[in-house]
Amino acid sequence: MNFPIWELHWAGGGLLIALIAVFHVYVAHFAIGGGLFLVVTEHLAYRRGSQPILDYTKRHTKFFLIVTLVLGGISGVGIWFIISLVSPAATSQLIHTFVFAWAIEWVFFLTEIVALFIYFYTFGKMSRRNHLTIGWLYFFFGWMSLFMINGIIGFMLTPGDWLTTKDFWDGFFNPSFWPALAFRTFIALILAGLYGFVTATWEKDAQTRETLVRYCATWLLAPFAFLLLSGWWYISALPEASQTMVLGANPEIAPYMQGFLWISAILFAGGLIMAVRMPAAIKRPMALVLLIIGLLYMGCFETMREAGRRPYLIHGYMYSNSILVGTEEAITAEGYLKSSGWNRHQEVTPDNAMAAGRELFRGQCAACHSIGGPLHDIKRLGAGYGTVGMDAQIAGMGKIYAYMPRFVGTEPERKALAAYIVHELVGESETAEQMPPRPEIGLDIPAFDSDADEYVLLAWCNLGEKCISDSDSRFSLLPPGSTLIAQLIRRGPQPELVTSGVELTFTPPAGFENPSNHVEFWKYAPSLVGKELEPNVSAKGLGMSGVMKPNEQNQTFIADGIPVLPYMDDGTINPYPVFTIEARDTASGKILASTKVVAPISTEIGCKNCHGGTWRHEGVMGISVTTASDVLARHDRRHKTQLLPQAEAGKPVLCQSCHPDPLLNATGNPELLNLPAAIHGFHANYLSDAPGAEPCHSCHPTGPDSYTYCARGVHAAQGLTCVNCHGTLEDHALTLLKAEKEAGKPKAELLMRHVKPRLVASIEEIESRTPWNDQPDCLNCHVDFEAPEGDNPSAFNQWVRGPAGLYRTRADDAGLMCESCHGSTHAEFPATNAFHPDLDAIQPLQYQGHPGPIGSKGNCAVCHTEDMYYEFHHPNILGRP
């Protein structure tokens, strides 16, 4: 933050460091292992009395000198140059922390150079003993140079106690010092054999060539077992977070670990093949190929080692964007632009948002991300995001997946950065979505004669809005299957619920009879629900019309699993189809009562806001293939699944086949988080800090800009939102995650780590709950059935332990269900629907002429043929307006 930043654009993202460093390290390790190779080979020549081997050693020494001093020296200077420009803060810290270690290393490096020059230019001009002594001195100085450098670069990965003591020796002899030194020593010996192949294969004498090639093969093969053992020791010495990162927590690193293992096998096999007698014309190119493969080998190792540090430059001390650990809150409070000394803009305004976003990208992103380059290209990674999705991605960085540092700055700065990435770098253009006009829905309120009619038929949907996913070729989150419930009441001085001798039927409105024409659920049903389904029949065996089953236990009739969709056969989108419910005498077939009821259904699930794509239908609802594919691609990348390839092969899955979910009575894999906990817990890390119910509106059709607008009840009319009952997204997620944590699921704790409650002071105060079964109690606010106190009541954190006590399953002492008189959840009477003001108030208007709860305003005569003077159903019923 206190240094100017070198903007590299295409070559950014650490590309130059990676290219120069890997090449230098490859040569530098050869300089160590090759030094031992020289002196041991010279000794071998003397022991065998072989002049050809001695001549080879001299020629190899010249090759060795040119490669290590010229290429190694230039690339070594290049490393200092590039790290000083790209990461000046970390470079400064390493210099100041290890100034004497650097000085000692430079002394060893200087003596290493002097010894090599003496060794080469005195070859054959000095006594054997003295010449071998010079060779051993070169190897000693070279290895001691590795010894010193190993302590410094190991410090960046595992600073250990230095973080608290700031002691030189704690930093130098850090936890990974000895295993890293052993690993690098063995890899240096292997590289001596690889480089040896290059010169040995050019020996003119066939016998000498074969002898030397097999000798080099021994250098390549013999250390391999020790290399792998020291590698395991090395990984074991890393902190748990670094181990996890190296072993594949970062999906970008997994290929490098696989590459390292595969190349280990390839090099070993290559060494064995090289030991077989073959013509020089084959072995020479093969030696070069193995040398190049060795470079890739070193690249895989160094990439994994670097990944182990993420999201730090110096683990636990300095982030990859040079922000010091522990300064995040202070910088966020002041703003990053003001805290950094190299920004022209000190705060974000509407006029400078793009320019400020560029400075934020340069300061917090450019250290790792290139612009159009081959390494971590922000254009590729940001493609498909809108500003909302990018803002969420930035907000969630570093919370669940720790290989990126968290964004540090104010909310306007975060939004400016998101806008800059989306509009300026990726080049995405956004236009405000224009909601098309809602269709005009005609509605006839059924007739009711309070003097002559003997029966009252009440019906409702058990959910105020049934949401389903229509991305069936990719996955099914919620399959088609709505539930309508009805109660038939025989009017009289003492009304009674009727459940025998009658038959209740349900019929859809015209144009809704063929849902299978509009989605692919039926095509993929065998993969999604495990069986073939007849068109327009749900997984529960119910069609679009039929007979409702009596439920003697709660004196209702139920149609559970109606496969209704918001798509009509003429192309109209209507999320509020009105079903006709009729009650007939089973003996005579006479219609006893008839009513109509809305079966609310929507596919307006906002995955596209973050996952790209558009609405699937008419720009208002539905999950497109593009959106659904991105969801699966990210799931595969994060969790090592193969859901997208499986779906593309025609085998999509039901999410609940893995994740338990009480809504569908799905047991799934009990070791995994239940689906609501997983979804809300994950997204709470990305959609946090937004005011009120805004995060809810990002996914659910609850906001004022929603086409469906499912919050239609009296609570919404009074200004209440999701937050009043369920809490903010963070609070809601924590109630679910805490229960999963208590059940022993470690992933819950990971998702909870950075989520803070907003309606209570601490997580300890959160009351855990089971999704769908444990919900807010109406009586938390409506104490003694009175109106709530205050303008902003809250039912959060006081759960009915259901499902028996829930509003949607609760009845009074007479057996009358709460929803039969008060309406469905989220559509409580009096409800107002954006598609027609009376859609959710059909029965109140049918039976009493106003949209309030059944029986309100003294309308006991809906069911009672005598005046009522006592409050039978619940207290305060007679006094309610």
Q: What is the pLDDT of residue 419?
A: 96
Using pLDDT thresholds of 50, 70 and 90, give the confidence band for residue 486.
very high
Rounded distance, CA 820 to CA 816, Å? 7
Q: What is the pLDDT of residue 336?
A: 95
Over residues 807-841, the pLDDT tens digits come to 999 999 889 999 999 999 999 999 999 999 999 99
| Confidence (pLDDT) at 858 | 84
Give how far the C-alpha of residue 110 lies from the chain's centroid of Cα atoms, to the nearest Å. 50
75 within 8 A of 24, measured Cβ to Cβ: yes
- Per-residue pLDDT tens digits for 518-531: 999 999 999 999 99
Are residues 185 and 229 in contact, defined by beta-carbon separation less than 8 angstroms?
A: no
Write the pLDDT tens digit of every residue in 168-199.
Answer: 999 999 999 999 999 999 999 999 999 999 99
Q: How confident is the model at residue 514 (pLDDT cuts 50, 70, 90)?
A: very high
Question: What percent of the chain lies above the pLDDT cut of 90?
Answer: 81
User: What percentage of the chain has pLDDT greater than the value 70?
Assistant: 99
pLDDT at 430 over 80: no
pLDDT at 12 over 90: no
Domain boundaries, the chain: 9-319, 328-426, 670-810
Asked if pLDDT for residue 881 goes beyond 60, the answer is no
Q: What is the mean pLDDT of residues 627-652?
A: 95
The per-residue pLDDT for 440 is: 83
Enumerate the H helices of 175-253 as residue ranges.
177-200, 206-221, 224-237, 240-244
pLDDT at 880: 58
Q: What whole-number distance in Å separates Cα of residue 196 and Cα of residue 419?
A: 54
The model's pLDDT over 731-776, given as tens digits with 9 standing for 90+, comes to: 999 999 999 999 999 999 999 999 999 999 999 999 999 999 999 9
Q: How far apart are CA 37 and CA 33, in angstroms?
A: 6
pLDDT tens per residue across span 286-330: 999 999 999 999 999 999 998 888 899 999 999 999 999 999 999
- The average pLDDT across 360-373 equals 93
pLDDT number for residue 647: 97
CA distance 681 to 685: 7
Rounded to whole angstroms, how far apart are CA atoms 516 and 563?
Answer: 9
Token representation of residue 199: 């010169």
Instruction: Output the pLDDT for position 1.
Output: 63
Q: Is the peptide bond before 311 cis (omega within 30 degrees of 0)?
A: yes
pLDDT of residue 517: 96
237-257 per-position pLDDT tens digit: 998 888 888 886 677 788 898
CB-CB contact of 530 with 481 (8 Å): no
pLDDT per position as a tens digit, 778-814:
888 998 888 888 888 999 999 998 788 899 999 998 8
Tokens of 222: 């013999």
- Structure confidence at residue 435 (pLDDT): 82
Q: How many Å apart are CA 248 and CA 237, to the nearest integer?
A: 17
pLDDT of residue 505: 98
Angle formed at CA 31 by CA 28 and CA 34, multiple of 5 degrees: 140
Written as one letter, the residue type at 482 is: S
| Mean pLDDT of the residues in the chain | 93
Q: Are 535 and 521 in contact (CB under 8 A)?
A: no
Task: Convert the pLDDT of each residue in 117-161 to its tens digit.
Answer: 999 999 989 999 999 999 999 999 999 999 999 999 999 999 999
CA within 13 Å, CB half, 695: 26
Torsion of CA 530, 536, 541, 547, to 10 degrees: 170
Q: What pLDDT does 848 receive?
A: 94
By three-state DSSP, how is residue 594 classified?
strand
Order the strands of the 546-547 sheet from edge to edge: 546-547, 502-507, 578-585, 591-598
Average pLDDT in the 234-238 region? 93
Q: Is the pLDDT of residue 341 over 90?
A: no
Report the distance separating Cα 637 and Cα 642, nearest Å: 9
What digits encode the pLDDT tens for the residues 655-711? 999 999 999 999 999 999 999 999 999 999 999 878 899 999 999 999 888 999 999
With respect to CATH, is domain 328-426 assigned 3.40.50.970? no
Residue bearing tokens 């000498």: 208
Alpha-helix runs per DSSP H in 522-583: 525-528
432 has pLDDT over 80: no
Query: pLDDT of 221-232, one tens digit each?
Result: 999 999 999 999
CB 170 within 8 Å of CB 160: yes
Q: Inter-axis angle of helices 128-157 and 280-309, to 10 degrees?
A: 40
pTM tops 0.85, yes or no: yes
Q: What's residue 502's pLDDT?
A: 97
Q: Is the pLDDT of residue 92 over 80?
A: yes
pLDDT band (50, 70, 90) for residue 562: very high
For residue 800, which phi and psi values (nearest 5 degrees)?
A: -80, 125
CB 861 within 8 A of CB 497: no
pLDDT tens-place string over residues 22-45: 999 999 999 999 999 999 999 999
Give the pLDDT band (50/70/90) at residue 592.
Answer: very high
Query: What's the confidence (pLDDT) of residue 816?
Result: 94
What is the average per-residue pLDDT within 88-101? 95
Q: What is the length of the chain?
A: 881
Q: Where are the beta strands (DSSP E) in 145-185?
A: none
Distance CA 544, CA 536 (A): 7
Single out the residue of 528, 545, 527, 524 nearest to residue 536, CA to CA. 545
Give the pLDDT band (50/70/90) at residue 872.
Answer: confident
What's the rounded Cα separation, in Å, for the pair 163 and 159? 6
